[in-house]
Amino acid sequence: MNKLLISFCLLILISFPALKIQAQDLDYYGFKCLDFKFEGHDAKIVFPDKAEQAKHWIWRARFWGHEPQTEIALLKKGFHLVYVDGAEYCGNQDAVRLWDHFYDYLIDQYHLNSKAVLEGFSRGGLYIYNWGSQNCEKVACIYADAPVCDLRSWPGGKGKGQGSPADWKAHLIAYNVNEENIDSFKGMPIYNAVKLASAHIPVIHVCGAKDEVVPMEENTDVLAKNYRDAGGEIKIIVKEGGGHHPHSLKDPAPIVDFILSHTVPELRDPPLPLDSKMSISFRGNLDNCRIKFEQEKFGRVAFLGGSITYNPGWRDKVCDYLREKFPSTRFEFISAGIPSTGSTPGAFRLERDVLSKGNIDLLFEEAAVNDATNGIKPEIQVRGMEGIIRHALESNPKTDVVLLYFTDQDKMADYNKGAIPEVIQQHEKVAEYYSVSTINLAKEVNDRILNGEFTWREDFKDLHPSPFGQELYFRTIKHFFETSWQKLPSIAMVSKTLPSNLLDPNSYSKGHFEPIEKARIKSGWNLVQNWIPGDKFPTREGFVNVPVLEGSAPGAEFKLKFRGNAIGVFITSGPDAGMLEYSIDGNKFKTIDQFTKWSSILHLPWLLMLEDNLSGGKHTLKVRISSAKNTKSTGYTCRIHQFSVNN
């Protein structure tokens, strides 16, 4: 009888390990956390204040407490959170066995849902996929964050990744493989995840596009292709410019929504209104142009900017919208977009390309992409943008002006790092100073991508947006119109009062072009009436078959007399662009390089500001072609279209 009793007691201890577990209560962000040892491993269970009815739970694989925002949000929804530390197993079969035991324990002792939500950060991806692929019936869905999916990528470092020699050695031992047979080893997520796909387990990955530790293209992209090929559902949220850290999203709402949609759909938060992620700063209204359109039945609308304004898309949609909104109004639309140009060229060509057409009722201006990609200094970004806005409002104080900040990957990278792009900061200073409304499409697109609504690579595609992106741009601009016009406007238009002082005393608010015929040629320069390139490289529309002042020999020189505090040359910079030497009022010669990072593939328009801090009055500029040149240039040539003067 004694032997039977002893055997029975041992059976109880094995079957119910909680009887021999000593635990302590801890606080986990305001929730009760049970901290204990399980089979010699650190383990934790966090309890919600009130468990949801089906007792769903999320299982953290590694790095307890790191970026816990998704877990906290789910705890608030009634989920449990669990963890067992099997770091030394590297996600191998020993880790799988530990997880098997821990799963049985949780189901037996706490009666949690039979299907777990698996969460794997970085190398935690090995654990969730290796265990999940052998226990598909026990998985509700998977959330993986910059996950390791191929040992050869990390820790092996056999591709683009940095690798980790010490971890590589440890993982080879843990998986009982070596460098000679690792290529035939199928016990990795890129291979075994297809079992989960066949079982229709939904998956979401969050990754940094520039992850150098666990490169996305060697891990998530490979797994995703195999997963989809096997009929599985996988959603990927890419943080443009993001690296391996930080993990997760600052706002975990899209991750939480994904998990809830596959566990407890009734706990999902109601969808936010369409305009919730639109980033619009309303400063004043658009009453003036609306009154003009309605009362005078005529409207002149101008679009000034770079290639995103030049190309068809959002601009055409805005024109169509205005025609439909005001069917009895005759519109004159001025398309003044020139690819490659930002706010500084815009300030000097505004008079020629826009204001010369007559009073402008509505002006759209965009320069944030080119000001940033062209490497324009912050103070020059202010001078150019203030030059455009102030000049436009001095020309017609009743003009309504709208600034647009379009999307590129650099701006998205800044937002993903918690920073406001420098160019947007500078343009916003000007917009605030002149009470001009702005539409930040860069922030909206990034926010919507992080929200899982679409992707950059598959939907938006490029800084020159796909039709999908053009429609998104237009949708937000239309919302801006409708919101601005939802109240009846006043009866009469109101002139805007300009600040008495310039935001920057050197702003290009009096910018204009002066003709190349004003140059007094000393030697080596020729006035070419209809310039066309002698090579096969492409050009920009409006900058070929036009007059240029051309010089191609070192030492070629001319003089220009001008009046103002700033002087520049508006050029075409191609593969043969050289360096210029210039002197103002007899001062020491300075050198400037015409060659840009795009010059080797294109003859592109480019504005070189030589000086913009001169005293007002008369000046004499001397320009000569330098005997030095950029090592990438094929020549010494300079082709000038106009002189840019701020007078």
144 in the same domain as 230: yes
Asked if residue 503 is part of any domain, the answer here is: no
The rounded distance, in Å, linking the Cα atoms of 14 and 58 is: 26
**Which H or E element spans position 433?**
helix 422-433
- Whether 312 and 445 map to the same domain: the answer is yes
Q: Which residue has the tokens 């060659």?
A: 595
Please give the Cα distance from 282 to 142 (Å, whole number): 41
Residues 361 and 478 in one domain: yes
**SS3 (DSSP) at 519:** coil
Confidence at residue 422, expressed as pLDDT on a 0 to 100 scale: 98
Task: Give the model's pLDDT for residue 284.
Answer: 85
Token pair listed for 294: 């309605």
How confident is the model over 317-368, as pLDDT tens digits? 999 999 999 999 999 999 999 999 999 999 999 999 999 999 999 999 999 9
Taking residues 247-265, what's their average pLDDT? Answer: 97
> 126-169, pLDDT tens digit by residue?
999 999 999 999 999 999 999 999 999 999 999 999 999 999 99
427 and 521 in a single domain? The answer is: no
Do residues 254 and 300 both lie within one domain? no
216 & 322 share domain = no
Whether the bond into 246 is cis, omega within 30 of 0? yes
Give the number of other Cβ atoms within 10 Å of residue 2's Cβ: 6
What is the identity of the amino acid at 469? G
In this structure, what are the phi and psi dihedrals at residue 305, rounded to the nearest 5 degrees?
170, -160
Q: What residues have CB less than 8 Å from 440, skipping those under 6 apart? A: 279, 280, 281, 405, 424
Question: Is 159 within the bounds of a domain?
Answer: yes
Q: What is the pLDDT of residues 48-74, one digit of tens each?
A: 999 999 999 999 999 999 999 999 999
Q: Which among 236, 147, 129, 251 has a CA at the least distance from the CA of 192?
A: 129
Tokens of 592: 């400037």
Neighbours of 318 (CB within 10 A): 20
Is residue 493 situated within a structural domain? no
**Which of 484, 500, 521 is a domain's end point?**
484
Residues 388, 368: Cα–Cα separation, whole Å: 13
Is residue 546 predicted with pLDDT exceeding 70?
yes
Q: Domain for residue 336, yes or no?
A: yes
Which one, of 32, 17, 21, 14, lies nearest residue 105 by Cα? 17
The C-alpha atoms of residue 227 and residue 233 are separated, in whole angstroms, by: 7
Residues 62 and 211 in one domain: yes
Structure tokens at 190: 């890129």
Q: H or E element: which one contains 564? A: none
Say yes or no to pLDDT of 556 above 70.
yes
Please tell me whether residues 304 and 214 are part of one structural domain: no
Say yes or no: 80 and 131 in one domain.
yes
pLDDT tens by residue, 259-278: 999 999 999 999 889 899 99
Asked whether residue 58 falls in the same domain as residue 186, the answer is: yes
The DSSP symbol for 330 reads E
Distance between CA atoms of 550 and 576, rounded to whole angstroms?
12
pLDDT in tens, 101-127: 999 999 999 999 999 999 999 999 999
CB atoms within 10 A of CB 302: 24
How do 604-611 and 566-573 pair as beta strands?
Answer: antiparallel
pLDDT band at 20 (very low <50, low <70, confident <90, very high): low
Are both 241 and 310 inside the same structural domain?
A: no
Q: Is residue 285 part of a domain?
A: no
pLDDT of residue 489: 66
Q: Which pLDDT score, from 0 to 100, does residue 9 have?
A: 33
For residue 258, the enclosing domain spans 22-267
Question: pLDDT at residue 400 above 80?
Answer: yes
Single-letter amino acid code for the residue at 108: D
Residue 475 located in a structural domain: yes
Cβ-contact 212, 188 below 8 angstroms: no
The one-letter code for the residue type at 515 is P
Q: Which CATH number is 96's domain given? A: 3.40.50.1820
Alpha carbon distances (Å) from 285 to 4, 503, 618: 88, 22, 41
Q: What is the CATH number of the domain that holds 638?
A: 2.60.120.260
CA dist 58 and 204 (Å) reads 14
What is the overall mean pLDDT for the chain?
95
Is residue 86, in this structure, part of any structural domain at all? Answer: yes
Which is it for the CA torsion 165, 167, 170, 174, positive or negative? negative
**Same domain for 197 and 90:** yes
Residue 495 lies in a domain: no
Give the count of domains, the chain.
3
- Tokens 């030589």 correspond to what residue? 610
Count of H helices and E strands in the chain?
Answer: 18, 26
Q: Which helix (H) or strand (E) holds 460?
A: none
Q: Specify the pLDDT at position 23.
A: 78
